[in-house]
Amino acid sequence: MLRLAGRRLSSLSWQSGHASSAAFASRNPFTAVDPSSDGRTVSISSSAHSFSFITSFPDQIRGFSSEALAPAQGIDLIPSIPATVAAIKNPTSKITYDEHNHERYPPGDPSKRAFAYFVLTGGRFVYASLARLLVLKFVLSMSASKDVLALASLEVDLSSIEPGTTVTVKWRGKPVFIRRRTEDDIKLANSVDVASLRDPQEDAVRVKNPEWLVVVGVCTHLGCIPLPNAGDFGGWFCPCHGSHYDISGRIRKGPAPFNLEVPTYTFLEENKLMIG
């Protein structure tokens, strides 16, 4: 039953479509060219010919409705490749440039030589200035800061130091021993046989003024701080490993390999010392 109803509906729809096509052809006659009549035009307006026209020329009728919707073949509204790629693939010498707003001068134009020299010289001067600035910044970055420079030197007033006593001051984070020696201390320091010392040095080489001995108070063995006015030789004694230094700061006994270091110092006045 369902198949029979479907067949009837399809036959009815085909008949209604045929009738509407015939009515359209009768109301709108078409003019066609007959190939057998040497180019003469033939008007088709009857219902009998309308069906044959529609069935004979289906492409033409479809053309009327689709011509305005789709572009004809061979016309590309959207190019298949970009314009730059097309220009590279198809080079041409017909490219022209708009030069109405500027002038073009050939290379080496004498009228522009002075300007070119000025630009080149100015650019090189700027480059040289930048290079100099970078070098100065780099060098200054490695120099000591103001707080370090302030600790680089130390002034000491010697007027309050009594003969035979030792004063300890701090310089660059290290202790410095300043000893005011007596006449007996000076004679004892000069009476030592230098050849018998582990680190041979005469007393005159270690002092600028025989009355004043200035040494760094760090043991040369393992960096301990020796005790002043102690030891077997009346100088300094390191209790850590038993190093003995004499009144000139020279190693006389114990494991220390070298004498106490003598820092850089100068006498600003008779009773004023500058260390560093």
Residues taking part in catalysis = 241
How far, in Å, CA of 157 to CA of 153, rounded? 14
Side-chain-side CA neighbours of residue 94 (13 Å):
3
Token couple for 71: 């572009």
Token couple for 25: 């052809």
Residue whose structure tokens are 């053309």: 63
How far, in Å, CA of 140 to CA of 241, rounded? 43
Please give the DSSP secondary-structure letter assigned to residue 36: G
Side-chain-side CA neighbours of residue 244 (13 Å):
10
176 - beta bridge partners? 169, 216
